[in-house]
Amino acid sequence: MRVAPRSHTAMLEEEIEIQEAEFRRLMADHRALAEERLALHRELQAGKDEVHHLNTIIADISAKKETYIGELVDKRRKLEAELRANESLRDEIVQLRGEIDKHLVVRKELSAKSASIMHELTREQSNKQQIPMLKAEIDALRQELVHARSACELEQKGNFQLVEQKKAMEKNMISMAQEIEQMRAELANSEGRPWAPGATYGMKLGSPEVTFPTPYGDNYNIHVGGSEKGHSHLPESSSWGTYDNNRLQYQP
């Protein structure tokens, strides 16, 4: 079956509709582009404002930086001038440091000496506290010396008494020897036997046997015992015991 060809008018209307649709699409795109352009313009203006603001800030920072750098340069110059002016003080500072070190050494030495002096003072105080004890000991020694002197005086007095007693004993022994000689003579006369001068005569005076030496011989000692080798004894007097008791009583 054969389709009838469309008319020219219909084709034109269809083409017009197509163009209108395309126009509407283009208008929509145009509006979108316009809106996008407006948004981009706004963004651009905001960017420009931001750039202007940043430029202003950068300018302020640059100005402040220049000012700060200028101040630093001025301070540096002043410090350099002060350092040049203080060059003479540096040597003084070094010298003062040396003197400070010396003073520290002297301080240490003085501290050591002070500690030694304090130790000496402590020892002196301790010795000073011992002075009363030493005085008491000295007083005790003095008293002992007084007692010793008294004992020596008593001993000298006793020795003098001993000499006197010895003299008295010698006199007694002489008288005893004379009495013995007299008794020998009487015995010789009674027994009818002669006695040789200087001979030894035996007689029993109790027990043991007593023998008598030559008259006034052997320092007037009387030998007591069975033979001539017996020990010699001196007669004791009552004053001897008194002297010994006195010595024992006055000993310190």
C-alpha separations of 206 from 202, 210, 225, 226 in Å? 12, 9, 11, 12
Contacts 24+ apart (CB under 8 A), 119-128: none
In a domain, 40, yes or no: no
| pLDDT for residue 220 is more than 90 | no
HSE, CB side, 13 Å, CA atoms: give it for residue 11: 4
- Higher-confidence residue of 221 and 36: namely 36
Other C-beta atoms lying within 10 Å of the C-beta of residue 166 = 12
DSSP-H helix ranges across the chain? 8-85, 87-191, 238-249
User: Side chain identity at 141, as an amino acid letter?
Assistant: L
CA dist 31 → 17, 19, 233 (Å): 21, 18, 175
Parallel, antiparallel or unpaired: strands 222-224 and 201-203: unpaired
Tell me if 48 is assigned to some domain.
no
User: Quick check: 249 pLDDT over 60?
Assistant: no
- Identify which of 227, 240, 251, 36 has the alpha carbon closest to the alpha carbon of residue 153: 251
* DSSP character at residue 231: P
* Domain presence at residue 225: yes
Q: CB under 8 Å to 198, separation ≥6 — which residues?
A: 214
Q: Which pLDDT value is given to residue 217?
A: 43
Q: What is the domain extent for residue 220?
A: 168-249
> Which tens digits make up the pLDDT trace of 66-112?
999 999 999 999 988 888 887 777 778 888 888 899 989 998 999 99
Give a yes or no: residue 98 inside a domain. Answer: no
pLDDT at 231: 40
pLDDT at residue number 186: 82
Q: Closest Cα partner for 176 from 135, 207, 221?
A: 221
Q: Is the peptide bond before 252 cis (omega within 30 degrees of 0)?
A: no
- Structural domain count, the chain: 1
Q: Which has the closest alpha carbon to 166: 241, 236, 222?
A: 236
Q: Say what the pLDDT of residue 54 is.
A: 94
Name residue 201's beta-bridge partners: 212
pLDDT digits (tens, 9 = 90+) for 15-58: 999 999 999 999 999 999 999 999 999 999 999 999 999 999 99
The answer to whether residue 70 sits within a structural domain is: no
Instruction: Tell me the three state secondary structure of residue 188.
Output: helix
Residue 136 lies in a domain: no
State residue 21's pLDDT score: 92
- Residue 179 in any domain: the answer is yes
**96 vs 102: CA distance, rounded Å:** 10
222 in a domain, yes or no?
yes
In angstroms, the CA 33 to CA 35 distance is 5
* Strand order, beta sheet including 222-224: 201-203, 210-212, 222-224, 232-233
Q: How confident is the model at residue 226 (pLDDT cuts 50, 70, 90)?
A: very low
Q: Which amino acid is at 202?
A: G
Q: How far apart are CA 15 and CA 22, in angstroms?
A: 10
Contact between 215 and 181 (Cβ < 8 Å): yes
- What are 239's two structure tokens? 């004053």
What is the rounded average pLDDT for all residues in the chain? Answer: 75
